[in-house]
């Protein structure tokens, strides 16, 4: 059983790490150039905040998804929770591609709004598995709500 738990942890980490790598590839080259030149509101966090924030949120997501994957395969909510989570993590990577990679600020607001809805759906789907996984993903909903507002104001200021 112990070997199986570690395998499930690796499986849980894979989509999150992939989203992180994709997001970083789209984001990092554009921070000192394009993003630095955008007008931003006073409440924009310093650039150094985003790395630790997302690293913490991704770690919580991995743990929560791992708990979902460890749930017995016949649990009626397991399949839906997996599908909703995988959709959410794909949209997560898609926002970085849209906003930073394609430099589409307005479309970024739309993708970020979809991300917020999919994170909330993940929290609700994970709650059907257990309180722990749901609570572990809940901070992401708060952070994405803030990021969506920030994205919208940046769009307004640079539109």
Q: Which pLDDT does position 47 carry in this prediction?
A: 95
Residue 2 vs residue 159, higher pLDDT:
159
Q: Which pLDDT does position 81 carry in this prediction?
A: 98
Query: Against a cut of 0.75, is the pTM above it?
Result: yes
Measure the CA–CA gap between 12 and 132, rounded to whole angstroms: 16
Average confidence (pLDDT) over 2-15:
91
User: Residue 2 above 80 pLDDT?
Assistant: no
111 Cβ neighbours under 8 A, 6+ residues apart = 91, 94, 95, 98, 99
CATH code at 2-158: 1.20.1260.100
Q: Which pLDDT does position 1 carry in this prediction?
A: 55
Judged on CB neighbours under 10 Å (0-12, 13-18, 19+), 2 is exposed
Rounded to the nearest integer, the mean pLDDT of the chain is 97
The tally of CA atoms less than 13 A away on the side-chain side of residue 149 is: 10
Q: Which pLDDT does position 30 carry in this prediction?
A: 97
Judged by DSSP in three states, 19 sits in: helix
User: Residue 40 above 70 pLDDT?
Assistant: yes
Q: How many CB atoms lie within 10 A of CB 53?
A: 16
């Amino acid at each position: 059983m112990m070997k199986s738990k570690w395998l499930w942890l690796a499986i849980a980490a894979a989509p999150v790490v992939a989203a992180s790598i994709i997001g970083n590839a789209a984001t990092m080259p554009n921070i000192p150039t394009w993003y630095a030149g955008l007008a931003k509101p006073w409440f924009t966090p310093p650039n150094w905040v985003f790395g630790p924030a997302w690293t913490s949120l991704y770690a919580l997501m991995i743990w929560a998804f791992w708990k979902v994957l460890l749930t017995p395969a016949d649990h009626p909510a397991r399949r839906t929770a997996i599908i909703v989570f995988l959709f959410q993590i794909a949209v997560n990577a898609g926002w970085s591609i849209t906003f930073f990679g394609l430099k589409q600020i307005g479309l970024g607001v739309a993708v970020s709004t979809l991300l917020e809805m999919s994170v909330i759906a993940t929290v609700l789907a994970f709650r059907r598995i257990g309180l722990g996984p749901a609570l572990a993903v809940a901070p992401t909903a708060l952070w994405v709500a803030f990021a969506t507002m920030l994205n919208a104001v940046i769009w307004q200021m640079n539109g």
